[in-house]
Amino acid sequence: MKILFIAAQSLFSNSSVTLMNLGFIEALILNGCKVDVITSELPEKHISQDEGIKLPDINSLTAYPIGGAYNIFSSKKSSATPQIFQSITRLIKDSIKYTYSLFTIYDHQLRWINNVDNIENNNVNYDYIISSSDPKHAHLFSLKMIQQKKVNYKKWIQIWGDPFSLDITNRNPIVINRMRKEEKYLFECADKVLFVSPFTAQKYQALYQELNHKIDFILIPYLTTDDQKSGNDKEITFGYFGDYSSHIRNLKPCYDAMNELNYNFVVRGDSDIKLKSTKMIDIGPRINLEKLRELEKNTDIYIHLCNLKGSQIPAKLYYYSGSKKPILFILDGEKEELRKFYSQYNRYIFCENNVESIKEALRFINENYKKIIYPTVREFAPTYIGHELIRKMQQ
């Protein structure tokens, strides 16, 4: 089976979207598929560039530059510019990007789709095109290839890591209305539309009932398995690795609970709130994959934090499920349906996102850490997910 996989997010960028795409590509390859990949090329020295990322055994990789506004607004890894000017420049860029987002439905990387104009049909007969978002213009790139007859294919499959109009970060009703029209058009053009959240798929089936035969979900596979404990002989260490912008996730109750119990807690991720490091708590910004792997080796328990609203699940949960370490699942948003769905895997320790509930769960984990065995989740294994993905594409 031949597949063209289109990932608008660079496969060499430090993001959960990249890990999701790599997981799906690996899952397809393990199920006997031959996968060609088209992705974006990051500007030189871009802050998201991650040299520690290893690609699956893909058949071919083609990267096209993003260019334009993205090069202007993107941050670089190092600069000789004084810190104060860097901060001012970053503030101006962030303000412009925010204003841009209030009135547009696609982000400033949209010009990437213009690369289609220079693509020639390679005369490969693909069984499937798979476009994967975020960013959303991955689907526009695929559509443009199809409309310009730049690709031979049988079916077009869309994978949506985050919803479009139903995204919890959307606030402008005018923009949401435009998103509705755009997403419906994209859904109509596709042969299959797969969301990585079953709850999001259900909402879209209800929203577009005439298209619900196309809409389904596919869970995210983990990339690797980890059978090892951390090797810490004395005090165990809890780890939260992910961004925690205050309008999306609330890490403060977990931070306060760890502080009150005086537990070792490591945090790596970007945020608009400032949490202070203490003797027992280590707070730091997002780091590259290689450094993250080293931290994970010395982490005993992973913290999964749900979004404040909705039922979208951060992809980190699936990656952690490939380990045998305990996972504290802090519920927020649409809590009951999240608890009900993920309880079926008998893998997670659940608590509410308040200090007392988190403290109770932390004490339980601390007391039972060496007594309970936490297996990897078979249903999130790449071979299993790859089989499910192929089955749903063929429907």
Q: What is the pLDDT of residue 84?
A: 59
How much is the pTM?
Answer: 0.91
Average pLDDT over residues 17-39: 97
User: Is the pLDDT higher at 377 or at 89?
Assistant: 377
Q: What is the pLDDT of residue 379?
A: 97
Alpha-carbon span 315 to 320, nearest angstrom: 9
The yes-or-no verdict on residue 81 having pLDDT over 70 is no
Q: What is the pLDDT of residue 69?
A: 55
Q: What is the pLDDT of residue 284?
A: 97
Alpha-carbon span 181 to 95, nearest angstrom: 27
The yes-or-no verdict on residue 228 having pLDDT over 80 is no
- CATH code for the structural domain at 237-376: 3.40.50.2000
The yes-or-no verdict on residue 71 having pLDDT over 60 is no
Q: What confidence tier does 67 reach under pLDDT thresholds 50, 70, 90?
A: confident
For residue 323, the SS3 value is: strand
Q: What confidence tier does 102 reach under pLDDT thresholds 50, 70, 90?
A: low
Q: What is the pLDDT of residue 97?
A: 55
pLDDT tens sequence across 324-376? 999 999 999 999 999 999 999 999 999 999 999 999 999 999 999 888 888 99
Sheet strands (E) in the chain: 2-7, 34-41, 60-65, 125-133, 152-160, 192-195, 215-217, 237-241, 264-268, 281-284, 301-305, 327-331, 349-352
Q: What confidence tier does 85 reach under pLDDT thresholds 50, 70, 90?
A: low
Q: What is the pLDDT of residue 107?
A: 84
Q: Find where tokens 């007391």 sit.
A: 367
Cis peptide before 135 (omega within 30 of 0): yes
Q: What is the pLDDT of residue 370?
A: 82
User: Running DSSP on this structure, what letter comes out for residue 381?
Assistant: S
Computed over every residue of the chain, the mean pLDDT equals 90
CA atoms within 13 A on the CB side of 78: 1
Alpha-carbon span 310 to 166, nearest angstrom: 9
Q: Could you write out the three-class secondary structure of 189-229?
A: HCCEEEECCHHHHHHHHHHCHHHCCCEEECCCCCCCCECCC
Q: What is the pLDDT of residue 98?
A: 56
Alpha-carbon span 110 to 100, nearest angstrom: 12
The yes-or-no verdict on residue 12 having pLDDT over 80 is yes
pLDDT tens sequence across 273-328? 999 999 999 999 999 888 999 999 999 999 999 999 988 888 889 999 999 999 99
Average pLDDT over residues 175-202: 96
Q: What confidence tier does 94 reach under pLDDT thresholds 50, 70, 90?
A: low
The yes-or-no verdict on residue 99 having pLDDT over 70 is no
Q: Which residues belong to CATH 3.40.50.2000 in the chain?
A: 237-376
Q: What confidence tier does 143 reach under pLDDT thresholds 50, 70, 90?
A: very high
CATH of 2-221+385-394, one of 3.50.50, 3.90.930, 2.60.120, 3.40.50: 3.40.50
Q: Are 291 and 275 in contact (CB under 8 A)?
A: no
Q: What is the pLDDT of residue 282?
A: 97
Q: What is the pLDDT of residue 233?
A: 60
> Above pLDDT 90, what percent of the chain?
74
Q: What is the pLDDT of residue 91?
A: 61
The yes-or-no verdict on residue 387 having pLDDT over 90 is yes
User: Is the pLDDT higher at 199 or at 233?
Assistant: 199
The yes-or-no verdict on residue 146 having pLDDT over 90 is yes
The yes-or-no verdict on residue 257 having pLDDT over 70 is yes
pLDDT tens sequence across 47-66? 777 777 889 999 999 999 98
Q: Provide the terminal-to-terminal Cα distance of the chain, rounded to the nearest Å.
A: 15
Q: What confidence tier does 9 reach under pLDDT thresholds 50, 70, 90?
A: very high
Average pLDDT over residues 150-178: 91
The yes-or-no verdict on residue 172 having pLDDT over 70 is yes
For residue 7, the SS3 value is: strand
Tokens standing for residue 6: 């289109």
